[in-house]
Structure 1
Amino acid sequence: MVGSVRRSRGRSGGHVTVPLLPELTLELAAEDVGLFDATGGYRSDTPPPFWTFAWPGGVALARFLLDHPAHVAGRSVADLGAGSGLVAIAAARAGAASVTAVDTDPAALAAVWRNAALNGVTVVTSPTPVPADVLLAGDVFYSGEVARRLLPLLRAHSGTVLVGDPGRGYFPERLFEELAAYTVPVRRTLEDTETMRVRIWRLKPR
Protein backbone atom coordinates (compact mmCIF):
# COMPACT_ATOMS: atom_id res chain seq x y z
CA MET A 1 0.00 0.00 0.00
CA VAL A 2 0.97 3.15 -0.42
CA GLY A 3 5.49 11.27 1.26
CA SER A 4 6.23 15.15 2.05
CA VAL A 5 4.14 14.47 5.03
CA ARG A 6 0.81 16.28 4.81
CA ARG A 7 -0.73 14.75 7.91
CA SER A 8 -3.61 16.30 9.79
CA ARG A 9 -2.89 17.90 13.17
CA GLY A 10 0.84 17.61 12.60
CA ARG A 11 0.84 14.12 14.13
CA SER A 12 4.01 12.78 12.57
CA GLY A 13 5.93 9.98 14.23
CA GLY A 14 9.10 11.14 12.52
CA HIS A 15 11.79 8.59 11.62
CA VAL A 16 10.95 5.28 13.27
CA THR A 17 12.12 1.66 13.21
CA VAL A 18 9.51 -0.73 11.84
CA PRO A 19 8.50 -3.81 13.89
CA LEU A 20 10.34 -6.96 12.70
CA LEU A 21 12.67 -4.77 10.63
CA PRO A 22 15.35 -3.26 12.88
CA GLU A 23 17.53 -2.78 9.77
CA LEU A 24 15.16 -0.19 8.32
CA THR A 25 13.96 3.29 9.31
CA LEU A 26 10.93 5.03 7.80
CA GLU A 27 9.11 8.32 8.05
CA LEU A 28 5.69 7.29 9.41
CA ALA A 29 2.64 8.64 11.19
CA ALA A 30 2.66 8.73 14.99
CA GLU A 31 1.59 5.53 16.78
CA ASP A 32 -1.78 6.94 17.90
CA VAL A 33 -2.81 8.06 14.41
CA GLY A 34 -5.28 6.01 12.38
CA LEU A 35 -5.88 6.17 8.64
CA PHE A 36 -8.94 8.36 8.95
CA ASP A 37 -7.17 10.66 11.42
CA ALA A 38 -4.52 11.13 8.77
CA THR A 39 -7.01 12.04 6.05
CA GLY A 40 -8.33 15.19 7.71
CA GLY A 41 -6.35 17.57 5.51
CA TYR A 42 -7.15 15.80 2.24
CA ARG A 43 -9.69 16.64 -0.44
CA SER A 44 -12.25 13.97 -1.28
CA ASP A 45 -10.59 13.42 -4.66
CA THR A 46 -7.18 12.72 -3.10
CA PRO A 47 -6.15 9.14 -2.17
CA PRO A 48 -5.91 8.38 1.57
CA PRO A 49 -2.31 8.54 2.82
CA PHE A 50 -1.68 4.80 3.00
CA TRP A 51 2.02 5.62 2.63
CA THR A 52 2.24 7.01 6.17
CA PHE A 53 1.89 3.50 7.65
CA ALA A 54 3.85 0.23 7.53
CA TRP A 55 1.08 -2.24 6.65
CA PRO A 56 1.49 -5.83 7.92
CA GLY A 57 1.63 -7.47 4.49
CA GLY A 58 4.45 -5.16 3.48
CA VAL A 59 6.31 -5.64 6.77
CA ALA A 60 6.25 -9.42 6.39
CA LEU A 61 7.24 -9.32 2.72
CA ALA A 62 10.15 -6.99 3.52
CA ARG A 63 11.27 -9.34 6.31
CA PHE A 64 11.05 -12.30 3.92
CA LEU A 65 13.24 -10.58 1.33
CA LEU A 66 15.87 -9.72 3.92
CA ASP A 67 15.76 -13.29 5.24
CA HIS A 68 15.80 -14.86 1.76
CA PRO A 69 17.63 -12.44 -0.55
CA ALA A 70 18.07 -15.02 -3.32
CA HIS A 71 14.53 -14.27 -4.50
CA VAL A 72 15.60 -10.80 -5.68
CA ALA A 73 19.41 -10.63 -5.63
CA GLY A 74 20.81 -9.58 -8.99
CA ARG A 75 17.34 -9.20 -10.52
CA SER A 76 15.17 -6.26 -11.55
CA VAL A 77 12.27 -5.71 -9.18
CA ALA A 78 9.03 -3.72 -9.24
CA ASP A 79 7.11 -3.08 -6.01
CA LEU A 80 3.44 -2.52 -6.87
CA GLY A 81 1.36 -0.31 -4.59
CA ALA A 82 4.62 0.70 -2.94
CA GLY A 83 3.21 3.11 -0.35
CA SER A 84 6.07 4.14 1.95
CA GLY A 85 8.54 2.13 -0.14
CA LEU A 86 9.17 -0.39 2.64
CA VAL A 87 9.20 -3.47 0.38
CA ALA A 88 11.16 -1.74 -2.36
CA ILE A 89 13.80 -0.65 0.15
CA ALA A 90 14.08 -4.19 1.53
CA ALA A 91 14.53 -5.52 -2.02
CA ALA A 92 17.33 -3.04 -2.62
CA ARG A 93 18.96 -4.04 0.68
CA ALA A 94 18.65 -7.69 -0.37
CA GLY A 95 20.78 -7.05 -3.45
CA ALA A 96 18.31 -6.46 -6.28
CA ALA A 97 19.99 -5.16 -9.42
CA SER A 98 17.38 -2.42 -9.76
CA VAL A 99 14.19 -1.54 -7.90
CA THR A 100 11.21 0.49 -9.06
CA ALA A 101 8.49 1.53 -6.62
CA VAL A 102 5.13 1.86 -8.38
CA ASP A 103 2.25 3.86 -6.91
CA THR A 104 -0.49 6.03 -8.38
CA ASP A 105 -0.27 8.58 -5.53
CA PRO A 106 2.42 11.24 -6.15
CA ALA A 107 2.73 11.77 -2.39
CA ALA A 108 3.59 8.08 -1.96
CA LEU A 109 6.31 8.32 -4.60
CA ALA A 110 7.76 11.32 -2.79
CA ALA A 111 7.72 9.28 0.43
CA VAL A 112 9.55 6.43 -1.29
CA TRP A 113 12.28 8.78 -2.44
CA ARG A 114 12.79 10.17 1.06
CA ASN A 115 12.67 6.78 2.77
CA ALA A 116 15.09 5.25 0.27
CA ALA A 117 17.55 8.08 0.92
CA LEU A 118 17.06 7.62 4.66
CA ASN A 119 18.07 3.96 4.30
CA GLY A 120 20.96 4.57 1.92
CA VAL A 121 19.55 2.72 -1.09
CA THR A 122 18.51 3.70 -4.61
CA VAL A 123 14.90 3.18 -5.66
CA VAL A 124 13.39 4.53 -8.87
CA THR A 125 9.72 5.61 -8.73
CA SER A 126 6.97 5.34 -11.32
CA PRO A 127 3.21 6.00 -11.39
CA THR A 128 2.68 3.03 -13.73
CA PRO A 129 3.96 -0.57 -13.79
CA VAL A 130 7.33 -1.23 -15.42
CA PRO A 131 8.95 -4.42 -16.79
CA ALA A 132 10.86 -6.40 -14.13
CA ASP A 133 12.06 -9.90 -13.34
CA VAL A 134 10.23 -9.94 -10.01
CA LEU A 135 6.92 -8.31 -9.03
CA LEU A 136 6.31 -7.61 -5.34
CA ALA A 137 2.99 -6.67 -3.72
CA GLY A 138 2.65 -6.07 0.01
CA ASP A 139 -0.89 -5.88 1.44
CA VAL A 140 -2.60 -4.77 -1.77
CA PHE A 141 -5.72 -6.97 -1.72
CA TYR A 142 -7.66 -4.74 0.67
CA SER A 143 -10.42 -3.77 -1.79
CA GLY A 144 -12.21 -5.36 -4.70
CA GLU A 145 -11.38 -2.48 -7.01
CA VAL A 146 -7.64 -2.73 -6.36
CA ALA A 147 -7.70 -6.52 -6.67
CA ARG A 148 -9.50 -6.34 -10.03
CA ARG A 149 -6.91 -3.92 -11.37
CA LEU A 150 -3.86 -5.68 -10.01
CA LEU A 151 -4.56 -9.38 -10.42
CA PRO A 152 -4.51 -9.47 -14.25
CA LEU A 153 -1.16 -7.70 -14.19
CA LEU A 154 0.27 -10.24 -11.74
CA ARG A 155 -1.11 -13.22 -13.65
CA ALA A 156 0.25 -11.95 -16.97
CA HIS A 157 3.77 -11.68 -15.55
CA SER A 158 6.18 -14.33 -16.82
CA GLY A 159 8.61 -14.04 -13.90
CA THR A 160 8.34 -14.34 -10.12
CA VAL A 161 5.42 -12.76 -8.23
CA LEU A 162 5.65 -12.50 -4.43
CA VAL A 163 2.81 -11.23 -2.24
CA GLY A 164 2.56 -10.49 1.48
CA ASP A 165 -1.03 -10.79 2.74
CA PRO A 166 -2.54 -10.84 6.26
CA GLY A 167 -5.82 -12.44 5.19
CA ARG A 168 -7.46 -9.55 3.37
CA GLY A 169 -10.84 -10.43 1.91
CA TYR A 170 -9.93 -10.02 -1.74
CA PHE A 171 -6.77 -12.13 -1.84
CA PRO A 172 -7.23 -15.07 -4.30
CA GLU A 173 -5.37 -17.69 -2.24
CA ARG A 174 -6.13 -20.51 -4.71
CA LEU A 175 -3.78 -18.93 -7.27
CA PHE A 176 -0.78 -18.85 -4.92
CA GLU A 177 1.51 -21.16 -2.96
CA GLU A 178 2.62 -20.31 0.57
CA LEU A 179 6.34 -19.78 1.19
CA ALA A 180 6.50 -18.47 4.77
CA ALA A 181 4.53 -16.87 7.58
CA TYR A 182 5.27 -14.18 10.15
CA THR A 183 3.51 -12.81 13.20
CA VAL A 184 3.59 -9.05 12.73
CA PRO A 185 2.94 -6.47 15.48
CA VAL A 186 0.32 -4.00 14.22
CA ARG A 187 -1.29 -0.74 15.31
CA ARG A 188 -4.65 -1.04 17.06
CA THR A 189 -5.61 2.24 15.38
CA LEU A 190 -5.48 0.40 12.04
CA GLU A 191 -6.29 -3.26 12.66
CA ASP A 192 -8.07 -3.43 16.06
CA THR A 193 -5.63 -6.09 17.23
CA GLU A 194 -2.01 -6.26 18.42
CA THR A 195 -0.61 -8.85 16.00
CA MET A 196 -1.54 -10.40 12.66
CA ARG A 197 -0.40 -13.63 11.04
CA VAL A 198 0.91 -12.68 7.61
CA ARG A 199 1.75 -15.18 4.90
CA ILE A 200 4.16 -14.82 2.01
CA TRP A 201 2.83 -16.21 -1.24
CA ARG A 202 4.25 -16.96 -4.67
CA LEU A 203 2.01 -16.98 -7.72
CA LYS A 204 1.63 -20.47 -9.14
CA PRO A 205 2.67 -21.06 -12.77
CA ARG A 206 -0.28 -20.93 -15.15
Structure 2
Amino acid sequence: MGPLGHADQLLALFQASVPGGQLRLQRLPCERLLRLWLADPETFGTRFDDQVVSAIMAAPPYWSFCWASGQVLAGRILANPDWVAGKRVLDLGCGSGVVAIAAALAGARESIACDLDAAALVAAQANAGANGAQIRIAPALEAIHGPVDVLFGADILYDPDNRPLLSRLPTLADEVWVADSRVKDFSEPGYVKVATEQATTFPDMGEWEGFNQVNLYRAARVAR
Protein backbone atom coordinates (compact mmCIF):
# COMPACT_ATOMS: atom_id res chain seq x y z
CA MET A 1 0.00 0.00 0.00
CA GLY A 2 1.39 3.44 -0.97
CA PRO A 3 1.52 6.59 1.18
CA LEU A 4 -1.82 7.90 -0.11
CA GLY A 5 -3.46 4.55 0.65
CA HIS A 6 -2.17 4.69 4.21
CA ALA A 7 -3.44 8.28 4.55
CA ASP A 8 -6.92 7.29 3.37
CA GLN A 9 -6.93 4.33 5.76
CA LEU A 10 -5.80 6.62 8.56
CA LEU A 11 -8.64 9.07 7.95
CA ALA A 12 -11.16 6.22 8.13
CA LEU A 13 -9.66 5.11 11.45
CA PHE A 14 -9.75 8.66 12.79
CA GLN A 15 -13.38 9.16 11.81
CA ALA A 16 -14.29 5.91 13.53
CA SER A 17 -13.19 7.61 16.78
CA VAL A 18 -14.11 11.18 15.86
CA PRO A 19 -17.14 11.18 13.55
CA GLY A 20 -16.78 13.96 11.00
CA GLY A 21 -13.22 14.68 12.12
CA GLN A 22 -10.54 15.56 9.61
CA LEU A 23 -6.78 15.05 9.41
CA ARG A 24 -4.41 17.53 7.84
CA LEU A 25 -0.78 17.16 6.77
CA GLN A 26 0.94 19.70 9.03
CA ARG A 27 4.50 20.89 9.60
CA LEU A 28 5.67 20.67 13.19
CA PRO A 29 6.28 24.08 14.75
CA CYS A 30 9.53 23.04 16.45
CA GLU A 31 10.94 20.96 13.59
CA ARG A 32 9.84 22.39 10.26
CA LEU A 33 11.47 19.58 8.29
CA LEU A 34 8.83 17.10 9.39
CA ARG A 35 5.22 16.86 8.24
CA LEU A 36 2.66 14.62 9.91
CA TRP A 37 -0.97 13.67 9.36
CA LEU A 38 -2.52 15.13 12.51
CA ALA A 39 -5.95 16.15 13.74
CA ASP A 40 -7.21 19.28 12.04
CA PRO A 41 -7.53 21.79 14.92
CA GLU A 42 -11.00 22.77 13.70
CA THR A 43 -12.15 19.22 14.46
CA PHE A 44 -11.62 19.82 18.16
CA GLY A 45 -13.07 23.29 18.04
CA THR A 46 -16.46 21.68 17.51
CA ARG A 47 -18.68 20.76 20.43
CA PHE A 48 -19.28 17.02 20.33
CA ASP A 49 -22.31 15.42 21.85
CA ASP A 50 -21.84 13.18 24.90
CA GLN A 51 -22.00 9.97 22.85
CA VAL A 52 -19.13 11.10 20.60
CA VAL A 53 -17.06 12.24 23.58
CA SER A 54 -17.55 8.83 25.21
CA ALA A 55 -16.41 7.09 22.01
CA ILE A 56 -13.28 9.25 21.82
CA MET A 57 -12.38 8.58 25.44
CA ALA A 58 -12.90 4.84 25.01
CA ALA A 59 -10.33 4.67 22.19
CA PRO A 60 -8.33 7.92 22.08
CA PRO A 61 -6.53 8.52 18.75
CA TYR A 62 -3.25 9.45 20.47
CA TRP A 63 -1.42 9.15 17.14
CA SER A 64 -3.39 12.12 15.76
CA PHE A 65 -1.36 14.50 17.94
CA CYS A 66 2.39 15.00 18.11
CA TRP A 67 3.11 15.07 21.83
CA ALA A 68 5.71 17.33 23.36
CA SER A 69 8.19 14.56 24.21
CA GLY A 70 8.11 13.15 20.68
CA GLN A 71 8.86 16.56 19.24
CA VAL A 72 11.82 17.03 21.57
CA LEU A 73 13.32 13.63 20.78
CA ALA A 74 12.82 14.06 17.03
CA GLY A 75 14.50 17.46 17.16
CA ARG A 76 17.44 16.08 19.17
CA ILE A 77 17.93 13.20 16.74
CA LEU A 78 17.91 15.45 13.68
CA ALA A 79 20.35 17.83 15.40
CA ASN A 80 22.61 14.92 16.45
CA PRO A 81 22.51 12.36 13.62
CA ASP A 82 25.49 10.53 15.13
CA TRP A 83 23.06 9.22 17.79
CA VAL A 84 21.51 6.93 15.20
CA ALA A 85 23.57 6.92 12.00
CA GLY A 86 24.24 3.35 10.87
CA LYS A 87 22.41 1.92 13.89
CA ARG A 88 19.33 -0.21 14.47
CA VAL A 89 16.82 2.02 16.25
CA LEU A 90 13.54 1.30 18.03
CA ASP A 91 10.81 3.88 18.70
CA LEU A 92 8.69 2.28 21.44
CA GLY A 93 5.10 3.49 21.75
CA CYS A 94 5.60 5.31 18.47
CA GLY A 95 2.21 7.04 18.16
CA SER A 96 2.52 9.23 15.07
CA GLY A 97 5.93 7.69 14.36
CA VAL A 98 7.76 11.03 14.58
CA VAL A 99 10.80 9.64 16.42
CA ALA A 100 11.21 6.64 14.10
CA ILE A 101 10.90 8.96 11.09
CA ALA A 102 13.50 11.37 12.47
CA ALA A 103 15.87 8.44 13.06
CA ALA A 104 15.38 7.17 9.52
CA LEU A 105 16.06 10.62 8.07
CA ALA A 106 19.14 10.96 10.28
CA GLY A 107 20.67 7.84 8.75
CA ALA A 108 19.62 4.91 10.95
CA ARG A 109 20.43 1.55 9.37
CA GLU A 110 16.97 0.35 10.41
CA SER A 111 14.27 2.36 12.17
CA ILE A 112 11.46 0.40 13.82
CA ALA A 113 8.17 1.96 14.97
CA CYS A 114 6.50 -0.18 17.63
CA ASP A 115 3.04 0.33 19.11
CA LEU A 116 0.27 -1.88 20.50
CA ASP A 117 -2.29 0.35 18.72
CA ALA A 118 -2.72 -0.90 15.16
CA ALA A 119 -3.96 2.55 14.08
CA ALA A 120 -0.71 4.10 15.31
CA LEU A 121 1.23 1.77 13.02
CA VAL A 122 -0.88 2.94 10.07
CA ALA A 123 -0.17 6.53 11.16
CA ALA A 124 3.56 5.85 11.33
CA GLN A 125 3.53 4.40 7.82
CA ALA A 126 1.49 7.28 6.40
CA ASN A 127 3.73 9.85 8.08
CA ALA A 128 6.89 8.08 6.97
CA GLY A 129 5.62 8.22 3.39
CA ALA A 130 4.85 11.93 3.74
CA ASN A 131 8.49 12.52 4.71
CA GLY A 132 10.14 10.14 2.25
CA ALA A 133 11.40 7.96 5.11
CA GLN A 134 11.72 4.18 5.26
CA ILE A 135 10.65 2.60 8.54
CA ARG A 136 9.64 -0.85 9.75
CA ILE A 137 6.64 -1.44 12.00
CA ALA A 138 6.19 -3.87 14.87
CA PRO A 139 2.99 -4.54 16.85
CA ALA A 140 4.83 -5.46 20.08
CA LEU A 141 8.28 -5.80 21.60
CA GLU A 142 8.02 -9.56 21.17
CA ALA A 143 7.89 -9.07 17.39
CA ILE A 144 11.37 -7.52 17.35
CA HIS A 145 14.20 -10.00 16.98
CA GLY A 146 17.91 -9.36 17.10
CA PRO A 147 19.95 -6.65 18.81
CA VAL A 148 18.84 -3.04 19.07
CA ASP A 149 21.44 -0.28 19.29
CA VAL A 150 19.28 2.63 20.46
CA LEU A 151 15.80 2.58 21.98
CA PHE A 152 13.67 5.72 22.27
CA GLY A 153 10.52 6.13 24.37
CA ALA A 154 8.55 9.39 24.22
CA ASP A 155 5.78 9.96 26.77
CA ILE A 156 5.30 6.24 27.29
CA LEU A 157 4.74 6.77 31.02
CA TYR A 158 1.36 8.52 30.68
CA ASP A 159 -0.07 5.16 31.78
CA PRO A 160 1.25 4.26 35.27
CA ASP A 161 1.08 0.58 34.29
CA ASN A 162 4.02 1.25 31.95
CA ARG A 163 6.39 2.30 34.74
CA PRO A 164 7.83 -1.25 35.15
CA LEU A 165 9.03 -1.00 31.54
CA LEU A 166 11.78 1.35 32.68
CA SER A 167 13.77 -1.42 34.33
CA ARG A 168 13.34 -3.70 31.29
CA LEU A 169 14.32 -1.28 28.53
CA PRO A 170 18.08 -1.19 29.28
CA THR A 171 18.17 -4.96 28.80
CA LEU A 172 16.90 -4.52 25.24
CA ALA A 173 19.30 -1.95 23.76
CA ASP A 174 22.81 -0.59 24.14
CA GLU A 175 21.42 2.88 24.80
CA VAL A 176 17.99 4.03 26.00
CA TRP A 177 16.55 7.52 25.77
CA VAL A 178 13.30 8.34 27.58
CA ALA A 179 11.58 11.70 27.10
CA ASP A 180 8.78 12.42 29.53
CA SER A 181 6.56 15.36 30.41
CA ARG A 182 4.13 13.57 32.72
CA VAL A 183 6.11 12.00 35.57
CA LYS A 184 7.49 14.46 38.09
CA ASP A 185 8.99 11.89 40.48
CA PHE A 186 11.16 10.03 37.95
CA SER A 187 13.79 8.19 39.97
CA GLU A 188 14.45 4.93 38.11
CA PRO A 189 17.91 3.46 38.89
CA GLY A 190 20.32 3.56 35.97
CA TYR A 191 18.78 6.59 34.27
CA VAL A 192 20.55 9.94 34.23
CA LYS A 193 18.72 13.18 33.54
CA VAL A 194 20.40 14.85 30.56
CA ALA A 195 18.30 17.92 29.76
CA THR A 196 14.98 19.71 30.07
CA GLU A 197 13.29 21.32 27.07
CA GLN A 198 10.02 23.12 26.40
CA ALA A 199 7.55 21.97 23.77
CA THR A 200 3.79 22.00 23.27
CA THR A 201 1.63 19.16 22.02
CA PHE A 202 0.65 19.86 18.43
CA PRO A 203 -2.06 20.69 17.58
CA ASP A 204 -2.18 22.59 20.86
CA MET A 205 -4.71 21.03 23.23
CA GLY A 206 -4.36 23.76 25.85
CA GLU A 207 -2.84 21.31 28.32
CA TRP A 208 -1.52 22.22 31.75
CA GLU A 209 1.76 24.14 31.35
CA GLY A 210 3.63 21.50 33.34
CA PHE A 211 3.12 19.06 30.45
CA ASN A 212 5.14 21.40 28.21
CA GLN A 213 8.31 20.69 30.19
CA VAL A 214 10.05 17.64 28.75
CA ASN A 215 12.79 15.87 30.69
CA LEU A 216 15.30 13.69 28.85
CA TYR A 217 16.81 10.66 30.55
CA ARG A 218 19.51 8.28 29.31
CA ALA A 219 20.44 4.75 30.38
CA ALA A 220 23.05 2.28 29.14
CA ARG A 221 22.56 -1.42 28.56
CA VAL A 222 22.50 -3.71 31.59
CA ALA A 223 22.86 -7.48 31.59
CA ARG A 224 19.69 -9.52 31.48
Aligned ranges 1:37-186 → 2 under 5 Å:
41=55, 44=58, 47-129=59-141, 130=144, 131=146, 132-148=148-164, 150-169=165-184, 171-172=186-187, 174-186=189-201
Unaligned runs of 5+ in 1: none
Question: In structure 2, what is the equivalent of residue 4 of structure 1?
Answer: 10
- 1:124-171 Cα shifts (integer Å, max 9, x gaps): 1011122411111011111211222x2243132340101111242574
Q: How big is the shift at 1:107?
A: 0.5
Q: Greater helix percent: which structure?
A: 2
Distance in 2 (CA, whole Å) between partners of 1:18 and 1:108 is 18
Contact 2:100 2:135 in 1 (8 A): yes
TM-score, normalising length: structure 1: 0.84
What is the SS of the residue equivalent to 2:126?
A: helix
Distance in 1 (CA, whole Å) between partners of 2:162 and 2:206 is 19
What is the SS of the residue equivalent to 1:189?
A: coil
Unaligned runs of 5+ in 2: 1-8
Distance in 2 (CA, whole Å) between partners of 1:170 and 1:9 is 38
Q: How big is the shift at 1:185?
A: 2.8
Q: Greater strand percent: which structure?
A: 1
Distance in 1 (CA, whole Å) between partners of 2:92 and 2:37 is 19
Which 10-residue stretch deviates more, 124-133 or 78-87? 124-133
- 1:36-76 Cα shifts (integer Å, max 9, x gaps): x78655594xx421111101111101111011111111100
Aligned ranges 1:6-45 → 2 under 5 Å:
6-7=14-15, 8-31=18-41, 33=44, 41=55, 44=58
- Report percent identity of matched pairs: 33
Greater Rg, structure 1 or structure 2?
A: 2
Change (3 A) 1:160 1:90: same
Contact 2:114 2:138 in 1 (8 A): yes
> Which amino acid in 1 is paired with 2:133?
V
Give 4+ residue runs of structure 1 displaced > 6 Å after superposition.
none
Q: How big is the shift at 1:87?
A: 0.5
What is the SS of the residue equivalent to 2:158?
A: coil
Paired residues, what number?
199
Question: In structure 1, what is the equivalent of residue 6 of structure 2?
Answer: none
TM-score, normalising length: structure 2: 0.78
> Which amino acid in 2 is paired with 1:203?
A
